Amino acid sequence: MGVRSFLKGKLEKHGGAVGLAKHAVAKASGGTPGATARPTSQPAEAAAEIQAALDTLPREPDRDGFVAVATSALLGEGERNTFKVGETPVACFRIDGKLYVVDDECAHENGPIGEGKLDGFVVTCPYHDWRYDVRNGDCLTDPERHLSCFAVKEAGGYIWVGRKTREGTKSRGGEHDDGLKVAEVG
């Protein structure tokens, strides 16, 4: 998650700057700043589970050239994650029982698409809120800046990623779409 998205999320969660400040003061003074969700497992345990699952992946491509990137269990319905095909990071999504795979690098400033917020078929880059349709890689923020898409299949309890079905743009840069304004101070 980018700093801008992190701060924007905190401000929205606590009702603006005053609410965030009250939350921080209560937390720092040992008070109860508000209910927080208890994690389902400790981060180290979760990382060990994921690594154990990845260690079971077939090492060679299948007969069609697809590469196993994850066990099926690592990507539940409505979830997204980032995996590697060789040295190439890809963002994988499971929506309505179907898998979609696109570049993991935003066409704006290379933000991690697989860490973005998913709303239906639209993923929002966590850096500057550029939005993409995961079904076809189309950029909803700048229609000239689409992502690469990859063939994907699920077989034998694994998610397999194949060749590119659409080449993404190489262009980078452009306006931010996160609603935050940069102010000159002094």
CATH code at position 84: 2.102.10.10
pLDDT tens per residue, range 93-117? 999 999 999 999 888 877 899 999 9
Same domain, 90 and 20: no
On whether both 67 and 148 belong to a single domain, the answer is: yes
User: What was the pLDDT predicted at 96?
Assistant: 96
- pLDDT reading at 151 higher than 50: yes
User: Which of the two residues, 158 and 28, has the higher pLDDT score?
Assistant: 158
Q: 74 and 133 in one domain?
A: yes
Residue keyed to tokens 């299949």:
153
Residue 179, domain member (yes or no): no
The pTM for the full model equals 0.69
Domain that holds residue 9: 1-34
23 and 113 together in one domain: no
Please write the tens of the pLDDT for every residue from 54-105. Answer: 788 899 999 999 999 999 998 999 999 999 998 899 999 999 999 999 999 8
Same-domain pairing of 14 and 83: no
In the chain, what is the greatest distance between 2 CA atoms, to the nearest angstrom? 63
Instruction: Give, as one character, the DSSP assignment of residue 21.
Output: H
> Bridge partners of 83?
90
| 161 and 80, same domain (yes or no) | yes
CB 100 within 8 Å of CB 155: no
Overall domain count for the chain: 2
3-state secondary structure at position 103: strand
